[in-house]
Structure formats: C-alpha cells, structure tokens
A and B are shown apart, each in its own frame.
Chain A
Amino acid sequence: MDTVITIGISDMKIAKKPEILATYALGSCVGICLYDVILKSGSLGHILLPLSGGAQNINKYKFADTCIPEMIKGMEKLGSNKRNLTAKIAGGASMFEISGDSTIGNIGKRNVEAVKNTLMQFQIKIIAEDVGLNYGRTVFFHLNDGSVQVKSFAKDIKIL
C-alpha cells in the first residue's frame, strides 16, 4: 500500500517512489511539483504568496521565490542533478471576483507568475500546468512515474 504524505499550506516535502505527495484544496495558492525522472524522487511545495521581499526569519515555504530554491537544494542533497528536474504546477485560481476590486481577483495570477519566473531563473522546465480559472484543486503527485492527479469539485479528474 502506497503511503500518502500530506503537505499543508506554506509547507514542502521531499520523497521517493513509491510514495505519493498530496496537498489539499489549493485555491489561489500554487502547488509546485518537481520531479527527478532518474531517481524517481520528487518534492511538492504549497506556496501562499509570490515574493518574500528579501525578509529574514520567514517561513521559506510560504513564498514562491524562497520555496523553490529550498525544494531544489533539498533534492540535490538527496542526489538529484538539477538538470534532471522538471516541474508541473497547479492552482493559482481566482476564487472570488468582487467588482471594483481587482486585487482579490488577481492574487492567484500573481502567484503563478512568481512561480514561473522563479522556475525560469533556475532553468527548470514546466512540462504541464493546470492553473487559473475559478476553482480549487487537490493534487496527488505520484513519485512512481511523476504523474500529477488534479481533483476539483464537480469536475473530472485531470492527469498532468
């Protein structure tokens, strides 16, 4: 029986096959799945905000620009070569539209942009994504094959 390792908000974990990494109910947050196809290992981060603004004494897993480097570092420690890493991302939805208030509608988009920019800086390719729109997503990241299962309310399950 495979075990499911759960990742909370502003958290990140690393594991190897045959484990499954999961994070529940991503709304405007973004789930980042990094996979090493050689070692069949992966990490899943659940970020809340785009940029840390260089602040100290923070939870690094809370921000896109500090979580992703930690994910890469952690995987390298376990023997991964950065060149073998690929990314799949999900989340960044716009859960509420309030007329005359674009901030609320845009928070998911800002998160997705920051995740994409940070991954680009580290030259990690995004090979699949399910982002934006107006619904929440639960993510199961299967380390056996790197597939990412996305579940949403009243929608078919997607496989990335």
Chain B
Amino acid sequence: MSIENLEQLSDMHIDVLRELGNIGAGNAATSLSAMLDRTINMSTPSIKILEINDASESLGGPENVVVGILGRLSGDIDGLIMFIIEQDLALSAINYLLHNNTKSCTELTDIEYSALAEIGNIMISSYIRAMAELSGLHILTSVPGVNVDMVGALLSVPAILMEDFSDRIIFIENDFISPQDTITANMLLVPSIDSLNKIMVGLGIV
C-alpha cells in the first residue's frame, strides 16, 4: 500500500525512518567529530511527525533564535532538508574552524556564514548519503542556504514550499554528546509524498 499522506505512516514506517535517522546521525557525528576535533557520540534519534506550528514549539517556541541551514533535495526524490542548531553550537564550531573569538550570532561575517553553510552541508550530506545508500536512490542536495533567525520564520519556508504535499514534516531529533556538553541538533526532513513512497519501496517496504 502506498502512503498518501504523513498521517498514514505506520509504526513500521516510523521505525524505518528512525533507523535512517540513526545511520545518518552516525555519519554526521563522525563528520562533526573530525571537523571539530573532539569525540562526539550520539543518542538514538527520536522521530516525530509534526505540524509546522508544533515543530516551532518543540524547537523552543517561534521566537527562539537558531541557526537554520536549508538544502533542496533532487534527483530521484523531491523535497527539503533542514538542519537546525542552537547558536552556542554554531559559535563554538565557527570559532574552532576559523580560530575566531566571536561571542554572538547577531553580526556574523560572510566568512562565518560560509563556515556555517559548510557545516550544514556536511551534516546534510551525511544524512542523505545514508538514505541514498540504503534505498538505492540517486539523491542530490543543493548547496544549502543559511540564516540565523527566529525558528518560526525559518520554518515558514518548508511550510510554504511543501504545502502541496502536507502540512506536516518529519522531524528527526538527535542529541550529539561530547565530553564537554550535549548538543541537540535537529534534522527536518520534508519529502514529497511521492518521494517518501520511493524511499520506502527502495528500502523494501511495500
């Protein structure tokens, strides 16, 4: 049976998405460890299917300022992927990569934005690689766009673009754990329903 909307996802579909999230996050943790030169582990991700309004609540409320990195998926599938991190993590990553001592995300320079886009690119690619390998699909990602702003404002973009498909999104929440601290990073996956079916078929789930 093919899926017609995200409300129809069964426990098995959710388990499959969690496993994808798990492997994707594993890749991402490895990339992040290498990039930031520290040990980073991760917890098993939690998967939620949320309405966009609720998604911004679970990210600290619509006015919570975060870093959002958005990429477009193409190739065999069509959709968006968005990586959301707290300002603290963004700053420590920027400062490590660029040997800066930037204290706030209020006025980042172009090069700092580029560094964030690159981090997002690597994280997004880690997830997409897992998904492509497991499903046998050919999936491309755009060079991502990045912005630091209220999470509600950032989420308006997937909400608007994916309106034709669904008013819900797949929300993969990962905790990345390093000896210093625990960082929660969120990956939002907004596939078209067609694409979701292709992914499920590719994974052998009918």
Interface range, B side: 20 to 34
A-B contacts, CB under 8 A, total: 100
A96 and B106 form a contact (CB under 8 A): no
Q: How far is the CB of A52 from chain B (nearest CB, A)?
A: 11
Specify the chain B residue showing the minimal Cβ separation from A105: B145
In this complex, how many residues of chain A approach chain B with their Cβ under 8 Å: the count is 29
User: How far apart are the CA atoms of A130 and B34 in the complex, in Å?
Assistant: 43
A96 and B163 form a contact (CB under 8 A): no
- Given A24-B62, A25-B63, decide whether A104 and B53 contact each other with a Cβ distance below 8 A: no
Task: Give a binary string over A5-28; 1 marks a CB under 8 Å from any B CB, 0 the rest.
Answer: 000110000000000000011111
**Does B156 reach chain A (CB closer than 8 Å)?**
yes
- Given A98-B70, A101-B142, A138-B63, decide whether A107 and B157 contact each other with a Cβ distance below 8 A: yes
Q: How far is the CB of A25 from chain B (nearest CB, A)?
A: 3
18 contacts between A and B (CB under 8 A): A9-B52, A9-B156, A24-B63, A29-B160, A49-B160, A95-B154, A96-B68, A96-B157, A98-B71, A98-B142, A98-B143, A99-B143, A101-B72, A104-B70, A104-B157, A135-B149, A136-B153, A153-B148
Residues of B within 8 A of A (CB): 52-53, 56, 61-63, 65, 68, 70-72, 106-107, 142-157, 159-161, 163
